[in-house]
Amino acid sequence: MYKTSSADVSKIFTLSQVLRRLLFFITLSFVIFKTCAQNLSANPSSFSEYYRRSQLVGIVDSTISFALRPLSLSAISDTGTILRRQRHFIYGSTGSSNNFQILPVFWQQQYHGNPTINRNDGLVIPAKGYQTFISAGAFAKFGPLRVHLRPEFIFAENKRHEVKSYHTGGIDLPSRFGSGAYSQATWGQSSIGLEFDPVSVSFSNENLWWGPGIQNSLLMSSSAAGFKHLTLNTNRPVQTPAGYFEAQVVAGRLEGSDFSTDLSDDWRYFSGFVFSYQPKWIPGLFLGLTRSFQIYHKDMDGSFGDIFPFLQAFQKINTTEDIKRRDQLISMSGRFLMPVAKSEVYFEYGLNDHSYNTRDFVMSPEHSRSYILGIQKLVPYRGRADEFIQFSAEITQMEQSVDRTIREAGEWYTHSEVLHGYTHRGEVLGAGIGPGGNLQSLQIGWVNEIKKLGLQLERFEHNGDLATAYGFSPWIDISMATVADWTFDNFKLSGKLQGIQSINYQWKDGINGRPKANVFNVNAQLGIMYSFSAGANKRK
Q: Output the pLDDT for position 100.
A: 87
503 is a domain residue: no
Q: Output the pLDDT for position 67.
A: 95
Nearest CA to 378 among 343, 327, 405? 343
DSSP string, 305-341: HHHSGGGS-SS-TTS-GGGS-EEEEEEEEEEEEETTT
Q: Output the pLDDT for position 86.
A: 63
Q: How many CB atoms lie within 10 A of CB 437?
A: 26
Using omega within 30 degrees of 0 as the cis cutoff, is the peptide bond preceding 70 cis?
yes
Opening angle at CA 252, ends 294 and 323, nearest 5: 20
pLDDT in tens, 98-153: 688 899 999 999 999 877 777 899 999 999 999 999 999 999 999 999 999 999 99
Examine the pLDDT at 376 and tell me if it is beyond 90: yes
Examine the pLDDT at 186 and tell me if it is beyond 50: yes
Confidence of residue 384 (pLDDT cuts 50, 70, 90): confident
- Domain span at residue 305 reads 6-386+397-435
483 is a domain residue: no
222 is a domain residue: yes
359 is a domain residue: yes
225 is a domain residue: yes
Looking at the structure of the chain, the number of domains it has is 1
Q: Output the pLDDT for position 540.
A: 44
423 is a domain residue: yes
**Phi/psi at 375 (nearest 5 deg)?**
-150, 145
Confidence of residue 406 (pLDDT cuts 50, 70, 90): confident
Q: Which of 245-259, 306-320, 393-407 has the highest mean pLDDT?
A: 245-259
Q: Residues near 340 by Cβ (< 8 Å), separated by ≥ 6?
A: none
Q: Output the pLDDT for position 167.
A: 75
Confidence of residue 29 (pLDDT cuts 50, 70, 90): very low
Q: What's the whole-number mean pLDDT along residues 379-393? A: 92
In whole angstroms, give the CA distance from residue 381 to residue 339: 16
DSSP string, 444-469: EEEEETTEEEEEEEEEEEE-HHHHHH
Q: What's the whole-number mean pLDDT along residues 398-407? A: 84
475 is a domain residue: no
pLDDT in tens, 151-181: 999 999 999 887 776 776 789 999 889 989 9
CATH number at residue 151: 2.40.160.130
